Each structure stands twice: as structure tokens, then as C-alpha cells.
């Protein structure tokens, strides 16, 4: 299998969709922050736009990882090294500690009273049992300036934890920050310096301003920083599918978040994240000449000591990379060579760019039964939209349009451990969703069955011709 790498400079017209009964209306919008040179890579294929460069795909393997976790450095309930130990012992290959608006470096002390408040009395007892006295740094009441002060424990830094836990080729820790700007949450993976929330007049402005700051640090530092938008439906607020389609500098988002009640399935007021993904992909390819977004599953874990809302182990990504290094992991993700999962594991995932065929093989799991749905939008899809209405009140839901079922429709359904989709030539894109008959290890009301999602493939960006 060959991998085709293409870079195309695009002249892009930017639009935003406005609600209108039965039709989609577009108005001119300003240029994006940094017009990207877009390339569309999917599994083992990059869409040919302009001049294609062919190269042999290097040997690679799958690496399991989670890019969204929280510790006592911000609002998690456990020590960072306890969290790292949890993931490493359960077979994860890489992990990002992504605390809110802070990097786990420098000196930070936390009172034992606060540790107990968040994680219960067992949190510090487990910490003491797992790590020797020489590792844990504490201050007793007598060591502190005031006799009324509570004893404190020092939170260990990422660099110290990396030295103790990383194993070349086996386990990797990636520095990260969850830039938390009111309702906007963006994880910056492989960040080098803290980025303060940038603010903005609207949700879209805040997303773009914070993405701009990430881009500026990437340029100034020379390090690859991969940002992704977290839980777009949090508390029934956030970004609409049309807005998400328009913010083309955003290339990654959470299509599934492990926190109970984070809006994955949508509501009367919001599309589900999967539905948003299909609308966004369709609009990007048809209206904006832009590459689709890639969808991540993450834990967003906060609770490691008994609470159930934000447990670890609920969502992750499997990345096919040349090696277990930050550079290789992020390069593979940018190429779309990964899938997201809440339990289903694939042993094969290929897109043949010549035969135009997407195929996958699922790892057997006892008596579990598997259903694969190939989902996509055809080029001649019905573009009619209607304003969403609240079924109880009958009132229009502001900013939300409902689309034809031809957007993100099920193109084929296959039962069993092997599934294949042969493109017919009229698809804008195709992605696969695999559903198991088994429940996840740590289910939520939003995830009664194990699933996995592949990235959109078979899409193509046509180079627009500049006006003379």
C-alpha cells in the first residue's frame, strides 16, 4: 500500500449558514486566521490535489492513548503519577496530562485537606502505599508559617514523572494544557509554554483566538502542537455545526467524551456530536473547499477514587504510527491514520485509493456481535434545511438547523468481524462506525455499547481557480 502526500494552496471563500425555512443562505465572512495548506490523508491515502508525491509507507503499528486527563494540578481528584500509573498498567502507550490553564511544572503544594475533599481519605493513603517516602514530599504543620496551617503535599512535575515512568518504545507522556476560556475548551497537545485564555466576543471568536495563540507558539517554538476542540455540546451550549464547519483552522474535535452528561448524544437543542461531524464534513467539502475534521474519543477523566461521573478508561484513540514518539504520533493523527474507540478494537483498517475501497477487520471479543455501518454523504445530496423546533414548546431553537437524512446517511451495514465498503464514485466521504453487542467496561448513559469510529476517507478537495 502506498501513501500519497499532497499539499495544495487553496483560495477559499468563507461563508456562514443562517437559519431559513427550507433553504440554506450564505453570507460572506472574513478570511480565517492562518489559511492552511490543506492535505487530505486518510488511513493509507492522501487525496490527490495538484501534484501527487508517492512514497512507500514505513512499517508502523497501533498505539493506544488518551489525550484528555486531569489531576490535582487543576480539578482532578488524584496525584498525577497515580494517574499515569493507572494508564500505563492498563496497556496504554501514550498519555497527555491536560490540566486547565496550567502546566504541571514548577512548585505547587496542595493541602491534605483539599486532597481529601476531592478524592476522599483513600487518595493520600493509596499514594503513600504506591510510592516510597523518598518520592513523596510533605510539609507538616510545624514546618509551616502558621500553626493553624494544614499539612501539605507537593505535586510532582511532569518532567520528574516522565523520568520515572517513560519507557522508550513502550510508554510516552505528552505535555498538554486544556485552554479553558469560559465555555471554550481546547486541548493543546505537546505544548511548550502556557497559553493564557485569549477571550473573544463570541464562542467562535474565542475558538479562533485561542487557535491563533497555539499557531503562534508553534511558529515561534518550531514544535508541533496539535489542538482539538473539547465537548462542543457541553451544557447545551457551544458551537453550531455550521460554525464548526466554517472554523477551518480547527481540524480535530472530540466526537466522544467520557464524562457522563457531556452532550455526546445531543438534545432537543443540539445535534449529537456524530451528527455534527457529518454536517460539518459535508459543508466543508461542498461549501468551503476545506478538509474535514477528525474525531477523537477521550476520557476527560477527573475521578479516580470512586466517583463515577468522569472515570478513566472510557474513551481513547488508536494511532498507527512509525514509532512511539510525540512527532510520529502527531504526524499520524494529522494524516488521519487513527481511529477512536470506547472498547472495539480493529486489527486491520485500510483505504485503497486505487480500488476506492475501505476495509476493516475487528478483533474478536468472546461472544460479542459486531455491526459496522458505513456512513457518508453523496455529492447530489438534498441540501434542504429547516429550523429546529422544540417539540414541547413548538418554538424555534436559535441557531440550529436540521438537515436532510441524506447528510451522513448509512450507505451500507455489515455484520461480523470483517467489513468492506466499495465506493461507487458519488460519495463526498465515507467513515465507518462499529458497534459491539457488549457494554463498555465503564459504561455511561451515553455509551451503552462499545463502539469505534474511523476517520472520514475518500474525500477530495478540488483546487479553486483564482479570479483573474
pLDDT at 317 over 90: yes
Cα–Cα nearest to 454, from 326, 296, 257 = 296
Cα–Cα nearest to 421, from 318, 349, 366, 340 = 349
Helix (H) and strand (E) counts in the chain: 8, 27
Q: Supply the Cα-derived Rg of the chain in whole angstroms.
A: 23
Domain count, the chain: 2
Res. 83 pLDDT band, cuts 50 70 90: very high
Cα–Cα nearest to 229, from 212, 244, 209, 242 = 244
pLDDT of 277? 98
pLDDT of 464? 55
Task: Please report whether residue 463 resides in a domain.
Answer: no
pLDDT at 284 over 50: yes
Task: Please report whether residue 146 resides in a domain.
Answer: yes
pLDDT at 138 over 50: yes
pLDDT at 115 over 80: yes
Same domain membership, residue 262 and residue 381: yes
Percent of the chain with pLDDT over 70: 84
Same domain membership, residue 216 and residue 97: yes
Distance, in Å, from the CA atom of 82 to the CA atom of 60, rounded to the nearest integer, reads 30
Res. 238 pLDDT band, cuts 50 70 90: confident
Cα–Cα nearest to 131, from 197, 204, 78, 71 = 78
Residue-wise pLDDT for 141-170, tens only, equals 666 656 545 699 999 999 999 999 999 999
Same domain membership, residue 224 and residue 148: no
pLDDT at 466 over 90: no
Residue 150 domain boundaries: 109-154
Same domain membership, residue 144 and residue 10: no
pLDDT of 29? 28
Last residue of a domain, one of 122, 154, 186: 154
Task: Please report whether residue 341 resides in a domain.
Answer: yes
Domain harbouring 166, CATH code: 3.20.20.140
Same domain membership, residue 15 and residue 30: yes
pLDDT of 4? 30
pLDDT at 224 over 80: yes
Pairing assessment for the beta strands 396-403 and 385-389 based on DSSP bridges: antiparallel
Same domain membership, residue 193 and residue 66: yes
Task: Please report whether residue 176 resides in a domain.
Answer: yes
Residue-wise pLDDT for 185-196, tens only, equals 999 999 999 999
The better pLDDT of the pair 302, 24 is held by 302
pTM for the full predicted model: 0.87
Res. 203 pLDDT band, cuts 50 70 90: very high
Distance, in Å, from the CA atom of 363 to the CA atom of 150, rounded to the nearest integer, reads 51
Task: Please report whether residue 459 resides in a domain.
Answer: no
pLDDT of 168? 97
Same domain membership, residue 79 and residue 40: yes
pLDDT of 194? 98
CB-side neighbour CA atoms (13 Å) of 117: 7
Same domain membership, residue 259 and residue 150: no
Task: Please report whether residue 461 resides in a domain.
Answer: no
Q: Residue 396: beta bridge partners?
A: 389
Mean pLDDT, rounded, of the chain: 87
Task: Please report whether residue 465 resides in a domain.
Answer: no
Same domain membership, residue 299 and residue 163: yes
Residue-wise pLDDT for 243-273, tens only, equals 999 999 999 999 999 999 999 999 998 999 9
Contacts of 343 (CB under 8 A, 6+ apart): 436, 438, 440, 441, 450, 451, 452
pLDDT of 1? 38
Cα–Cα nearest to 382, from 300, 265, 282 = 282
Same domain membership, residue 343 and residue 398: yes
Residue-wise pLDDT for 16-69, tens only, equals 222 222 222 222 223 333 333 333 333 333 332 222 223 345 578 999 999 999
pLDDT (average), residues 276-294: 97
pLDDT of 150? 67
Task: Please report whether residue 278 resides in a domain.
Answer: yes
Residue-wise pLDDT for 331-389, tens only, equals 999 999 999 999 999 999 999 999 999 999 999 999 999 999 999 999 999 999 999 99
Distance, in Å, from the CA atom of 265 to the CA atom of 228, rounded to the nearest integer, reads 19
Same domain membership, residue 297 and residue 333: yes
Last residue of a domain, one of 154, 187, 214: 154
Same domain membership, residue 104 and residue 118: no
Res. 462 pLDDT band, cuts 50 70 90: low
Residue-wise pLDDT for 170-188, tens only, equals 999 999 999 999 999 999 9
Last residue of a domain, one of 121, 154, 187: 154
Amino acid at each position: 500500500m502506498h501513501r500519497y502526500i499532497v499539499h495544495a494552496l487553496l483560495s477559499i471563500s468563507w461563508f456562514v449558514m443562517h437559519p431559513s425555512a427550507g433553504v440554506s443562505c450564505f453570507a460572506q465572512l472574513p478570511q480565517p486566521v492562518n489559511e492552511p495548506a490543506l492535505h487530505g490523508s486518510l488511513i493509507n491515502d492522501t487525496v490527490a490535489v495538484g501534484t501527487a508525491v508517492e512514497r512507500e509507507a514505513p512499517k508502523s503499528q497501533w498505539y493506544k492513548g488518551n489525550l484528555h486527563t486531569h489531576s490535582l494540578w487543576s480539578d482532578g481528584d488524584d496525584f498525577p503519577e497515580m494517574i499515569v500509573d493507572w494508564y500505563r498498567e492498563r496497556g496504554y502507550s501514550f498519555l497527555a496530562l491536560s490540566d486547565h490553564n496550567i502546566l504541571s511544572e514548577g512548585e505547587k503544594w496542595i493541602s491534605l485537606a483539599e486532597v481529601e475533599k476531592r478524592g476522599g481519605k483513600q487518595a493520600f493513603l493509596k499514594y503513600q502505599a504506591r510510592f516510597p517516602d523518598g518520592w513523596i514530599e510533605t510539609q507538616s504543620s510545624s514546618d509551616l508559617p502558621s500553626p493553624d496551617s494544614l499539612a501539605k503535599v507537593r505535586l510532582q512535575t511532569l518532567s520528574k514523572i516522565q523520568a520515572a515512568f517513560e519507557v522508550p518504545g513502550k510508554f510516552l507522556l505528552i505535555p498538554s494544557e486544556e485552554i479553558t476560556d469560559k465555555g471554550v475548551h481546547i486541548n493543546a497537545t505537546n505544548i511548550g509554554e502556557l497559553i493564557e485564555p485569549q477571550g473573544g466576543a463570541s464562542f467562535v471568536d474565542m475558538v479562533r483566538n485561542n487557535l491563533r495563540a497555539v499557531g503562534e507558539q508553534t511558529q515561534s517554538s518550531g514544535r508541533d502542537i496539535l489542538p482539538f476542540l473539547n465537548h462542543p455540546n457541553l451544557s447545551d451550549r457551544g458551537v453550531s455545526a455550521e460554525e464548526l464547519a466554517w472554523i477551518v483552522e480547527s481540524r480535530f474535535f472530540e466526537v466522544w467524551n467520557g464524562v457522563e452528561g457531556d452532550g455526546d448524544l445531543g438534545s432537543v437543542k443540539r445535534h449529537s456530536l456524530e451528527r455534527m461531524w457529518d454536517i460539518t464534513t459535508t459543508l466543508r467539502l461542498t461549501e468551503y473547499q476545506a478538509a474535514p475534521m477528525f474525531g477523537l474519543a477521550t476520557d476527560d477523566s477527573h475521578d479516580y477514587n470512586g466517583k463515577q461521573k468522569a472515570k478513566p478508561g472510557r474513551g481513547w484513540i488508536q494511532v498507527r504510527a512509525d514509532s512511539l514518539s510525540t512527532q510520529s504520533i502527531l504526524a499520524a493523527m494529522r494524516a488521519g491514520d487513527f481511529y477512536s474507540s470506547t472498547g472495539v478494537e480493529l486489527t486491520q483498517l485500510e483505504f485503497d485509493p486505487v480500488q476506492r475501497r475501505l476495509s476493516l477487520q475487528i478483533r474478536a471479543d468472546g461472544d460479542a456481535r459486531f455491526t459496522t455501518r458505513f456512513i457518508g454523504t453523496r455529492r447530489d445530496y438534498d441540501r434542504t434545511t429547516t429550523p429546529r423546533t422544540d417539540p414541547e414548546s413548538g418554538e424555534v431553537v436559535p441557531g440550529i438547523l436540521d438537515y436532510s437524512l441524506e447528510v451522513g446517511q448509512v450507505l451500507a451495514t455489515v455484520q461480523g468481524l470483517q467489513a468492506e465498503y466499495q465506493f461507487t464514485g458519488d460519495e463526498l466521504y465515507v467513515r465507518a462506525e462499529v458497534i459491539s453487542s457488549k457494554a463498555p467496561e465503564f459504561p455511561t448513559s451515553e455509551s451503552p455499547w462499545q463502539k469505534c469510529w474511523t476517520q472520514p476517507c475518500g474525500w477530495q478537495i478540488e483546487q479553486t481557480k483564482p479570479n483573474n
